Amino acid sequence: MGSLILCHKKKAKHPYEISRIHTRISTLEELCYYLCNNLYLIDYTIMNEQLCRWIADELEMQDLAVKLVELIRNHGSAEKFVVLVLHESRIYTPGEMAHIQNVLEKLKNQKEVERQKYKADKLMESGELESAILVYMSIVNGEKDDSVDKRFYGRVSACLAGAYGRAFLYEESARMYEKAYKICEDNKMLEGYLYASSRYMPQDEYQKMVMSNEILLEIDNKLTEKIEKVRENINIEPSKELFEEWKKEYRRA
């Protein structure tokens, strides 16, 4: 028999808008759901005194609001902020709380640039394409962290290439796939490079490029077969399917 979860009955008359995703929440449960599903995205857009006032005034949870305000003013971490809200909600079992805290602990031990990549990956998953591109660009064009494997930046470049492809910016996509390949030497990146190139280059130029290199020719043949299979299975333009497939290869930090 499953355990019962006590839900809070109070519903806000005036919903709180999470500016990052333009979503309104009206209950403590909705706030907790957002926090648990966006642990990598917690920042000032959710961890602020405006939210605390909303919790006090709309949800009538003054004690929780006071604790959160104190945490913010003492420059407490986002991890502590999340745990405090979830703990006070009494929605989650001890096992669930332990899992959430383990994830938060892992985040705390990650390098800032790794957290930024995961943030961009999550933005992509939630459909915030422009925001994801900006975060990927900030990593690729920003100051490099020499403590991470250099292939990490190749994977980020590939992710950015996939995001450009999803936005139909094929020339930019090809450029980033080429940059990613030079770092990682992964043929999957060449596959993405060729597909993006084929979408913006004149056909004769593309064929000349492919025919001049045996590796590119071999990959182009395989890519053609893959495109035909995608078309047969979904009967639509394969761009989205292919870029999504390639991008999944590089989501791991």
At 61 the pLDDT is 94
Q: What is the pLDDT along the chain (253 residues), one digit of tens a residue?
A: 344 344 566 788 999 998 766 789 999 999 999 898 878 777 777 899 999 999 999 999 999 999 999 999 999 988 899 999 999 888 899 999 998 988 888 777 788 899 889 889 888 888 889 999 999 999 999 999 999 998 999 999 999 999 999 999 999 999 999 999 999 999 989 999 999 999 999 999 999 999 999 999 999 999 988 888 777 766 556 666 677 666 666 655 5
- Retrieve residue 74's tokens: 């003492």
Task: Please list the alpha-helical segments (H only) found in 110-213.
Answer: 112-125, 129-141, 150-166, 170-184, 187-200, 203-211
User: How many angstroms separate the CA atoms of 25 and 33, rounded?
Assistant: 10
At 238 the pLDDT is 62
Neighbours of 142 (CB within 10 A): 10
Neighbours of 73 (CB within 10 A): 9
DSSP state of 14: S
At 248 the pLDDT is 64
At 49 the pLDDT is 95
At 4 the pLDDT is 39
Taking the model in full, what pTM does it have? 0.68
Q: In 164-174, which positions are buried (b, 16+ CB within 10 angstroms) versus exposed (e)? A: bbbeebbebbb
At 5 the pLDDT is 46
At 197 the pLDDT is 97
User: How many residues in total does the chain contain?
Assistant: 253
At 106 the pLDDT is 79
Neighbours of 139 (CB within 10 A): 23
At 249 the pLDDT is 64
At 62 the pLDDT is 95
At 125 the pLDDT is 84
User: How many angstroms separate the CA atoms of 222 and 208, rounded?
Assistant: 17
